[in-house]
Structure 1
Amino acid sequence: MTAPRPAAGPPSSSGVRRGGDTFQDLFVWGAAMRVIGPASRFAQVEVEITGAGNVDDVVLRSRTAGGDVYGQVKWATNPADLVDETFLTTPPRAGKSKSLLQKLYTSHVALKQHGNDHTMQLITNRPFDGGHPLLGHADGRTDLLVPHASQVSARTEAGTMVDRWAEHVGVTRAELLDMLGHLQFIAGRTISAERDHVRTLMLAAGLDGSEQALQQGLTTVAGWVVAGTRVVNEQDVRQAVTGLRRETPSALLVVQSIDADPHADEATVAVQWVGLYDGDEPRARVIPRDPESWNRMDRELATAAAMIENEGWSSTVVRGSMRQTTFFRVGTALPQVRQHTLRYVQRGETWSTNATKVTLDDPTLRRTQLDLGKDLAVAVGTTVDPTEEVATWLRSNQVSIHHLLTITPAAGADDASITDARHAVTHAEKGTQPGSGRARRPSRRQGGPPFLGWPRRALTPARSSSEPNPHHSGLRTSRSGTRLHTDVHCSGLNTRPNSPDRHRRTSNALVHQSPQCSRTRPSFPPAAGL
């Protein structure tokens, strides 16, 4: 995988325009992929059309009456710019034209003449102003400002802002709220995130999901724009992707564990658990408020997997923000032993469970005797050896472990030990050793999803109650770091130790079921450390 390189300097005026064009082209090509995606409800994509007001940059036409999606793309050259009060209500030419909010309302009125089932999207790389009484409360499940805007009291700051917006637009409070019920704010979208998003759609459509294939798609969109092609139907899209076809289409499973997916409506099946956690941002969402939520998540993921397989899918593209053991659970819910292929796009790399294996030496196994019980703990280290820290934690919490088995690459733990999906799959399968089970995960620093190395049998997901203490004097935490410790759930034993303060990057611990508890189905909480 090629790591992204920093820009040589600030963009020129031409570079700014090209950045905005690329941003919009990504959404157009993504819309085209939705037209040919599995069980698509859309018949065609339209680009910069007339008659849609100010939400005409990219339009998806539904196959049935109503349900069209109209997008307005706004590119900010300054990454510090926000979706805030000024952005929405200040006219661009000192009162000589309408503000963005006024234009959006005018578009809403025009679209209502054709029915009331439309969706408008304001798509931008600008993040929200989190301190705004309305914009700071967008619903992460729907990207709408309602129901918050409709439920606040008129005497609150948010309620006053609703009235101020209504007065600014020149409509009643009810009319403004009706518009807000149709307006999605797709905010904070970076080009890199959107590239990964569109590549998942390409994979789900059965296309080559490589960076080169995506670039070919963007070139196609640029050709449509230059040629004045405004309406692109399904046949046009299929003709454009003729050379990109690779295999049969895949289901799309969107797992919204610690952060909402702005495009969850694209999924074959989606699960949404963000509301089960406290915390204002993904990294703060570690343990749900109610411990029973672990079992709810397990049941819903099992149901999602059953729906995918019952519909006949044998390949699934996984997308979403989740912690490591959630990735592991996805791997067991849709296992390779049933000939099911999983793919995940992250940081420009496609990780697949059916990647071609490469030649690797057998991994190194290190056994540490603990004599705390009858179970086996397995720690997998790819960038660091986690043995001492995991053993210390197991002893301090008196977890029922007989011995700890640490598995590291043959050449030792290193941040370059897993370079791509081929190495990850090979490293996982190399783990078959008598009595050891199989437990692998690729390096988080290398960006691979842990389901590539999830044990296909005999291992239970690790229980986690850990979140690093960011104020710990000897610890530097990062979002990409792994912070996992184990809570055994076996044969009636269900300990919930206190959260440890010490953690290492890129290590993992799993609990091997002993024979006497092999029929126990554990609860699964996602581990910290996405």
Structure 2
Amino acid sequence: MPDLPAPSSTGVRIAGDRYQWLVAWQGCVTAVRDAALHAPNPVVGVGVEADGVGNVDDVVLYRKTPPHTYMQVKYAADSSTPVNEDYLLKLSDQGGPSILRRLAQAWQQLTEDGTPVDLALLSNRSPDAEDPLISLRDSRTQLLVPKAAQQGPRSKKGQARGRWAEGADLSEEGLLGLLNALRFDLARDVMHLHEHLRMLMVATGLRFDEEAMHAGADWVARQVADGQRRLSLADIREAIRSLRLEVGSSRAVVSIATLKPDPMAEDADYAVDWVDRFEGDSPYVKRRPQAPATWAQLQADIEAAPYRMPPGTSAVAVSGSLRLAPAFAVGAAFRMVTGVDLAVAQRDQLWSSDEAYEAPLAPAVDEHALDLGQDLAVAVAVATDPTQDVLDFLREQQIPVSQLLLLRPRGGPKDNSIPDAAAASALAVGIRDLLRRACRAHPAIHLFQAGPMGLALLLGNRWNRLRPTTVYEDLNTQQLYEKAFVIDA
């Protein structure tokens, strides 16, 4: 790919505006979802370049009762300026107040009557890991406190607090009051923002393709151009209707992250974060838990999900990054007998367990005799053909199976062998129905998968009236596979 030219100042400004409109549209989607799911303190309106709120007017989330969320949105064209003391205390190019001073002024103005506030500096800039205070940021709360308040005035922290307090024109006590309200929502690069917004639109029952995301942002930009600085829930709903974005209903969210952090975790009704508990430094190589973490612990966390859903939940969206065995386990945790419609974004489609289909799609079957025991081995070959690897593993590990059934689409394994959600549901049912007959003479099933994550989720969701099933994960090592979960069926 050829090197791109450096963006012009106009290009950077346009990109920054676009970033802000996407953040505002995200707030709009949140308001719709909060109303649909009866959130306890919902977002009821969104301000964009709002009046009377000082320097935190870029995006405002107005809630039913305070604290409202006031965001200063800062976009950077590159990573040359991380968020640190120098960045926060530097005077503006015109010699005006620093970013921290402007945030402090807004905080003083908004809390003058005792009203609590939630402030956020939201940026695609990264936090400076070497900064005495920014390095103390809690990734869960995005706050610098309580760690920033620890240690005395002569410590590195204390000296930094003194410089920050002076730069903000606050006492040290006042600075800590500001830091109790100010979140540093950092490293929100454009791809991260798109991923978060995409899943939020999924969970709100909206179209979630690139065109839909930008249609929402364009609508926000038009409102700002027309002088409309506060967008009500009615305004947002009318925009969704006129843009033809609504395709379903809002869903509760289960976030399962094993490969990389899930931007949607903060909005999830139940979140499992196992990224740091899986082996490997890259999402591409993370395939199994790292001791002392175990598959059994992960299974317990996954199986707790249905019990953490809001009362009356009937529809759930799954977000996060997970391989096939965990996806199957999530589907099994929300099996159809629970009455929950389970869905996941598969590329630009929503694959749902309630998707209508004309008839079950029976897979083609290849049989391989092994005579190693009484159990049944099953390999689902949709994206690729894992036959030889599975046979080698079964023989090397002496798994007690009598035969291997290789189940594949009629057209053979390939990346696009499942064109849509209806075909995925039909194939999941077809596989289950075939195995209900095939497993009658076997006490247990050993399952191997090579296909899209959405199919693994739907297959787990349909996995009932079968046999206890050991689900294996592909390790891409000399051992080939590893036993991950045992699912009662």
> With structure 1 as the length reference, what TM-score do the two structures score?
0.74
Greater share of residues in helix: 2
- Alignment pair present for 1:462 and 2:479: no
Summarize deviations over 1:162-219 as a string: whole Å, max 9, x none.
5543454354554434333322232222334433433433343344444444333223
Check 1:404–1:419 CA distance in 2 against 1; reply closer, same or farther (3 A cut).
same
User: Structure 2 CA distance, aligned partners of 1:200 and 1:233?
Assistant: 22
User: Structure 2 CA distance, aligned partners of 1:144 and 1:159?
Assistant: 17
Specify the alignment match of 1:68 in structure 2: 68
Specify the alignment match of 2:213 in structure 1: 214
User: Structure 2 CA distance, aligned partners of 1:71 and 1:149?
Assistant: 21
User: Structure 1 CA distance, aligned partners of 2:418 and 2:199?
Assistant: 22
Specify the alignment match of 2:379 in structure 1: 379
Check 1:236–1:417 CA distance in 2 against 1; reply closer, same or farther (3 A cut).
same
Check 1:306–1:49 CA distance in 2 against 1; reply closer, same or farther (3 A cut).
same
How many residues are matched?
Answer: 469
Question: Once superposed, what is the RMSD of the aligned Cα atoms?
Answer: 4.0
User: Structure 2 CA distance, aligned partners of 1:212 and 1:366?
Assistant: 42
- Alignment pair present for 1:342 and 2:342: yes
Summarize deviations over 1:260-280 as a string: whole Å, max 9, x none.
54554433x122434873789
> Which entry has the higher C-alpha Rg, 1 or 2?
2
Check 1:252–1:134 CA distance in 2 against 1; reply closer, same or farther (3 A cut).
same
Check 1:425–1:375 CA distance in 2 against 1; reply closer, same or farther (3 A cut).
same
User: Structure 2 CA distance, aligned partners of 1:87 and 1:358?
Assistant: 60
Confirm or deny: 8 A CA contact 2:192 2:263 kept in the other structure: no
Confirm or deny: 8 A CA contact 2:380 2:450 kept in the other structure: no
User: Mapping of 1:220-299 within 5 angstroms?
Assistant: 220-243=219-242, 244=244, 245-257=246-258, 259-262=260-263, 264-267=265-268, 269-274=269-274, 277=277, 283=283, 286-287=288-289, 289-291=291-293, 294-295=295-296, 297-299=298-300
Check 1:417–1:346 CA distance in 2 against 1; reply closer, same or farther (3 A cut).
closer
Identity of matched residues, %:
30
Confirm or deny: 8 A CA contact 1:382 1:415 kept in the other structure: yes
Range with bigger deviation, 82-91 or 149-158: 149-158
The unaligned stretches of length 5 or more in structure 2 are: 440-444
Check 1:276–1:217 CA distance in 2 against 1; reply closer, same or farther (3 A cut).
closer
One-letter code aligned to 2:250: P
Which of 433, 438, 459 is 1:435 aligned to?
438
Confirm or deny: 8 A CA contact 1:45 1:233 kept in the other structure: yes
User: Structure 1 CA distance, aligned partners of 2:76 and 2:353?
Assistant: 38
Partner secondary structure for residue 240 of structure 1 = helix
- Alignment pair present for 1:327 and 2:331: no
One-letter code aligned to 1:406: L
Specify the alignment match of 1:45 in structure 2: 46
Partner secondary structure for residue 486 of structure 1 = strand
Summarize deviations over 1:8-29 as a string: whole Å, max 9, x none.
8665554433322222111111
Deviation at 1:451, TM superposition (A): 1.2
Check 1:349–1:17 CA distance in 2 against 1; reply closer, same or farther (3 A cut).
farther
User: Structure 2 CA distance, aligned partners of 1:353 and 1:123?
Assistant: 36
User: Structure 1 CA distance, aligned partners of 2:400 and 2:343?
Assistant: 35
Check 1:117–1:323 CA distance in 2 against 1; reply closer, same or farther (3 A cut).
farther
Specify the alignment match of 2:124 in structure 1: 125
The unaligned stretches of length 5 or more in structure 1 are: 473-482, 491-512, 520-530
Confirm or deny: 8 A CA contact 2:88 2:99 kept in the other structure: yes
Deviation at 1:161, TM superposition (A): 4.4
Deviation at 1:30, TM superposition (A): 1.4
Confirm or deny: 8 A CA contact 1:258 1:273 kept in the other structure: no
User: Structure 2 CA distance, aligned partners of 1:456 and 1:26?
Assistant: 39
Deviation at 1:247, TM superposition (A): 3.6
Confirm or deny: 8 A CA contact 1:16 1:77 kept in the other structure: yes
Deviation at 1:118, TM superposition (A): 1.9
Partner secondary structure for residue 481 of structure 2 = coil
Confirm or deny: 8 A CA contact 1:440 1:453 kept in the other structure: no
User: Structure 1 CA distance, aligned partners of 2:85 and 2:79?
Assistant: 17
Specify the alignment match of 1:452 in structure 2: 458
